[in-house]
């Protein structure tokens, strides 16, 4: 197994663990501990929202690592990662402050949308076949 494929599988596995952890904590908070009050919102951000968003990012990155044919789309994926991580940081900060004004969440939303489009555009560029190099005889 090539190192890139192994790394991709490892990152996907980390993403799956993070998503499973977020789902477990959501079940615990909602149905077991019945944490349904406003003061519990920061706990949801810390124990559910953050692992969920980072788990999704790890899944995306793992599949990108496994399927990367060339380095050109890597720049788009790096920028998308930065946008995703910064959007997660901004959303996490807003939820920790128990911000309820919807306009405050516009920047994280836009960052997520930009990141998704960059991920998709990078995948499209990666999928386009390379031109065979012409050799002169």
The predicted-structure confidence for 3-42, as pLDDT tens digits, reads as follows 888 988 999 999 999 999 999 999 998 889 888 888 888 8
pTM of the model: 0.78
The CA distance from 135 to 125, in Å, is: 24
Which residues contact residue 122 at a Cβ distance below 8 angstroms, ignoring those fewer than 6 apart?
64, 73, 74, 76, 77, 80
Tokens encoding 31: 């149905």
Mean pLDDT of 94-112: 89
- Other C-beta atoms closer than 10 Å to the C-beta of 77 total 22
Higher pLDDT, 79 or 68: 79
The CA distance from 7 to 29, in Å, is: 33
């Amino acid at each position: 197994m090539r190192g890139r494929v192994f790394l991709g599988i490892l990152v996907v596995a980390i993403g799956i663990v993070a998503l499973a952890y977020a789902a477990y904590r959501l079940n615990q908070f909602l149905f077991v501990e019945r944490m349904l009050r406003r003061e519990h919102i920061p706990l949801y951000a810390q124990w559910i929202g953050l692992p969920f968003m980072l788990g999704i990012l790890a899944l995306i990155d793992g599949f990108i690592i496994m399927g990367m044919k060339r380095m050109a789309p890597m720049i788009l994926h790096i920028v998308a990662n930065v946008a995703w991580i910064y959007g997660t940081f901004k959303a996490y900060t807003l939820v920790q402050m128990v911000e309820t004004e919807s306009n405050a969440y516009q920047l994280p939303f836009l960052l997520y949308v930009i990141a998704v489009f960059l991920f998709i555009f990078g995948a499209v560029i990666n999928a386009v076949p390379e031109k065979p190099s012409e050799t002169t005889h």
